[in-house]
Structure 1
Amino acid sequence: MANLENIQNEKKYNKWIVALSIVIPIAVAVLFNVKLSDFGFNVAPLTFLPPIYAAINGLTAILLVLAFLAIKKKNIVLHKKLMTTAIGCSVVFLLMYVAYHMTSDSTKFGGEGAIRSVYFIILITHIALSIVVIPFVLITYVRAITNNIERHKKIARITFPLWLYVAVTGVIVYLMISPYYI
């Protein structure tokens, strides 16, 4: 059972977790619809970014699986390093994603028939869970750094599959839409 001091340390982060869990999706939604050119900035479209941020999603998925395997082998030091790197990758992904959409028009999926339905199911679940996973990742991370290990383990069982799904489906969405990039 987590001791009282660890829980109090964890609670110090709650305002940040709530704020970031609200601000990040709103900022992404707003910035997704903002074009730098609308404000007079002459910025070249960053059309080279989608394969890079898709690769970062793939790397995040690999890091998550490796971190899971590391903790199963009780290699806590490696687990911490891999998880911190996965969070860093997610931040870099997010920055690149926003930068791309602030400089480039969104690409429309051109597939037809059943594949179109499959694409939109994957895309919608990916977007919805990418919002949902933010507080889970933050809470899981805070519980680890405040040494609330039992509470960390409980929520990590939920966070891991959600985050892995978001990372993997990010790559799938990119692969499905990549033929339609200009």
Structure 2
Amino acid sequence: MTDKFIFRFVAGVTVFVIAVVILLNRHIIPGPATPPSFTPYLPMLNAILNGTCSILLLVSLSVIKKGNVALHKRLNILTFCLSSLFLVSYILFHYLMQHDTPYGDVNGDFIASPEEKTAAGGLRTLYLAILVPHIILAAGVLPLVLLSFNSGLQMQVAKHKKLVKWTFPIWLFVTVSGVVVYLMIKPYYHF
């Protein structure tokens, strides 16, 4: 496969995934009227997958610094598979749940007392400060992961190293911030 084909494939996959996520988040693609009973567990599964990927990325970095290419490859394949499972679970959750969860919404009502509003407002600002770069970088890291993964599997070491200088810190931030975002929004889920 040529570099041109790989680039077009990666661009196509990236555009497709981002379009599906946008359509689901805007509720343009209708889901079922009543979500299946497993739906409330998907955000926790996503956080577990993200947390596991964070650990695997750090271990993978450690083993490649020690020169263990074979284990590095296996760990990255596992991380890639878990991240792919995360993406499927994330898309499935947003397909099945046809409503948003606003930060600071308690029992279906926004916090009413001034003290609660002030406390929630500060945390909401922090939540958004983490969420916004998480979303932007999650969209941007997909093509980097795919290109890094391809160059690594092809043993194009120089190309892989150049890509991973950007891919690794962004991917790690996305996986760690995904867990943080989940922990911050979890109290406001009403399933």
- Do both share a fold (TM > 0.5)? yes
CA displacement at 1:12 relative to structure 2: 3.4
Aligned to 1:70: 63
Query: Which secondary structure does the structure 2 equivalent of 1:108 belong to?
Result: coil
Counterpart residue identity of residue 6, structure 2: Y
Q: Distance in 2 between matches of 1:164 and 1:118?
A: 19
Which one of the candidate residues 101, 121, 124 is aligned to 1:107? 101
Aligned to 2:155: 147
Which one of the candidate residues 12, 15, 18 is aligned to 1:25? 18
RMSD: 1.6
Deviation string 1:107-166 (CA, Å, 9 cap, x unpaired) is 211172221111001001000000010111111111112221111001101100000000
Counterpart residue identity of residue 52, structure 1: L
Name the structure, 1 or 2, with higher relative contact order (CA <8 Å, separation 6+): 1
Which one of the candidate residues 125, 131, 137 is aligned to 1:129? 137
The size of the alignment, in residue pairs, is 172
Which one of the candidate residues 79, 82, 94 is aligned to 2:75? 82
Q: Give the TM-score normalised by the residue count of structure 1.
A: 0.88
Identity %: 34
Residues 1:50 and 2:58 aligned together = no
5+ residue gaps in structure 1?
Answer: 1-7
Q: Which is further off, 163-172 or 44-53?
A: 44-53
Q: Give the TM-score normalised by the residue count of structure 2.
A: 0.84
Counterpart residue identity of residue 36, structure 2: A
